[in-house]
Chains A and B, each alone.
Chain A
Amino acid sequence: MATFTAPRLWSSTVGKKAVMAVTGVVLLLYVVAHMAANLKIFVGPESLDGYGRWLRGLGAGAFGYGGLIWIARVVLVAAVVLHMTAAVQLARRAHAARPVAYQVRPRVHGSYAARTMRWGGVLIALFVVYHVLDITTGTVNPHGVPGEDYANVVASFQRWYVVLFYLFAVVALGLHLRHGAASALRSLGSARAVQPVAVGLAVLVTAGFAVVPLSVYFGLVK
């Protein structure tokens, strides 16, 4: 940061992308941990629900029961707000930078993942709102008993449209990561070729998330 103060950096397009990269990495780390923890559903109800209790009890001595979770939530919400604010501002800037559109402009080069970053991101955000109401608060969950995570998940994924929405969202997430992971490193100034890593990460996260609703719906997890 030799030349840019924080406000000056935020005002520049390079700075906004750097903020998106850092917040994206924070959200990515959370997503990978969340995906891995979800797989406990295949061990059994006690494994998943026990994990939930363990997580709430983490750091209870310092922050109280569930305190660390609230700290994590504040960090995640801050990351999402910064990530989306920068994205919206860059999108508006891009719109203003080409006031007259081309009459003929075939989509030739950019990957599908790169082209769907903006609307894909919106879809993921909408899904997260529903997902929190479904699994975290239980508001729209058919079972909806706090602490009974396993039963809540199984109840939710009995409905085909919920499964479909979930799959749609995790594919959008995979595409988002496929472009985002590679783009983030370049935004932070690394010229390394990370395309295969980004593809691998995207496939791993998508498959890891998708396997849960599919297993519940097709009766592998009851």
Chain B
Amino acid sequence: MKVRLRIWRQAGEYDPGRLVAYEVEDASPDMSFLELLDVLNERLIAAGERPVAFDHDCREGICGMCGMMINGSAHGPRRETTTCQLYLRDLPTRRPITVEPWRAKGFPVIRDLVVDRSALDKVIQAGGYISAPTGSAPEANAVPVPKADASRAFDAAACIGCGACVAACPNGSATLFTAAKVAHLGTLPQGQPERAARAAAMVEAQDDLGFGGCTQMGECVAACPKGIGMDVIAHLNHDVLYG
């Protein structure tokens, strides 16, 4: 099958970018979206052109490296799916597919579809950890965790930091990411001592990095490949306001 693409090409952070049209003649419906870009890149390299730069690593939907706007949806139209796990059979291919990088002040474009997401690392550095000196790994059941808490913490911990929530948010906010980390640590007993300070510091870091504020539009939740819900945002607000 033939797939037509319009891909954002930008040589560097301060270069002007534009959408460039490409065609891949021999695509298969069972190719992943990244495999389609691989095929395109092999052709571009053979022709002596610069290949399309895009982030990827595990290609199993768990590392959080890949991610791009596909026809205006973060990670494409399929719910709870990363770009690497999106297959051409899931996409309407009659019209050209537009591919753009994540757009946010906190995510400057490095090249083509690659953005610098280290702003999310800075949010983590502000408090997304537990600073207890633990020594060697403790016995797993030494600290009892109620099942419901463990499940909620695990749901929040599913966040892979891909940045789709920021890309989808009309306010360019990283709140779903920050909230997932705050809810993950703040639900577990080990996270309690630093619970209030963590939430406050991470929200301040996120604000200082130029992300917008949350107005609860819900676009992030629809885009999240890990199905993280709005409940973590309520948790974040609770911890910031009441400590």
Point out residues on A near B: beta carbons under 8 Å: 1-4, 9, 11-18, 90, 93-94, 96-106, 108-111, 114-115, 117, 179, 182-183, 185-191
Interface-central residue, B175, B204, B221, by most chain A CB under 10 Å: B204
Which residues of A are found within 8 Å of B221, using beta-carbon distances? 109
A2–B213 CA distance with the chains assembled, in angstroms: 21
**New A-B pairs, 8, CB < 8 Å, besides A13-B213, A190-B238:** A94-B212, A101-B103, A104-B71, A104-B100, A106-B73, A109-B168, A114-B216, A186-B234
A110 closest partner in B (C-beta): B217
How far in angstroms is the closest Cβ of chain B from A104? Answer: 4
A2–B199 CA distance with the chains assembled, in angstroms: 11
5 contacts between A and B (CB under 8 A): A2-B196, A13-B203, A102-B69, A186-B233, A187-B216
Q: Is the CB of A187 within 8 A of B237?
A: yes
Point out residues on B near A: beta carbons under 8 Å: 8, 19, 69, 71-73, 98, 100, 103-106, 168, 170-173, 175, 196-197, 199-200, 203-204, 206-207, 210-219, 221-223, 230-231, 233-243
How far in angstroms is the closest Cβ of chain A from B94? Answer: 15
Q: Is the CB of A110 within 8 A of B218?
A: yes
A101–B105 CA distance with the chains assembled, in angstroms: 11
Complex partner residue of A190 from B175, B204, B206, B234, CB under 8 angstroms: B234
How far in angstroms is the closest Cβ of chain B from A77? Answer: 23
How far in angstroms is the closest Cβ of chain B from A207? Answer: 25
A100 closest partner in B (C-beta): B103
Q: Is the CB of A109 within 8 A of B219?
A: yes
A89 closest partner in B (C-beta): B213
A184 closest partner in B (C-beta): B216
Complex partner residue of A98 from B104, B218, B236, CB under 8 angstroms: B104
- Whether A94 contacts B238 in the complex (CB less than 8 A), given A12-B207, A109-B222, A191-B231, comes out as no
- Whether A191 contacts B241 in the complex (CB less than 8 A), given A94-B171, A94-B173, A97-B172, comes out as no
- Whether A12 contacts B241 in the complex (CB less than 8 A), given A94-B172, A183-B215, comes out as no
Complex partner residue of A3 from B98, B170, B196, CB under 8 angstroms: B196
Q: Is the CB of A186 within 8 A of B230?
A: yes
Complex partner residue of B105 from A97, A109, A110, CB under 8 angstroms: A97
Q: Is the CB of B105 within 8 A of A96?
A: yes
Which residues of B are found within 8 Å of A96, using beta-carbon distances? 105, 210, 212
Q: Is the CB of A97 within 8 A of B215?
A: no
Which residues of A are found within 8 Å of B210, using beta-carbon distances? 96-97
Q: Is the CB of A3 within 8 A of B197?
A: yes
B235 closest partner in A (C-beta): A191
Interface-central residue, B170, B175, B199, B206, by most chain A CB under 10 Å: B170
Q: Is the CB of A93 within 8 A of B171?
A: yes
Which residues of B are found within 8 Å of A188, using beta-carbon distances? 237, 241
A9–B213 CA distance with the chains assembled, in angstroms: 13
- Whether A17 contacts B104 in the complex (CB less than 8 A), given A2-B196, A3-B243, A93-B213, comes out as no
Q: Is the CB of A105 within 8 A of B234?
A: no
- Whether A109 contacts B218 in the complex (CB less than 8 A), given A18-B241, A98-B104, A189-B242, comes out as yes
Complex partner residue of A104 from B72, B211, B213, CB under 8 angstroms: B72
- Whether A17 contacts B215 in the complex (CB less than 8 A), given A90-B171, A98-B172, comes out as yes
A109–B223 CA distance with the chains assembled, in angstroms: 9
A159–B216 CA distance with the chains assembled, in angstroms: 39
How far in angstroms is the closest Cβ of chain A from B191? Answer: 15
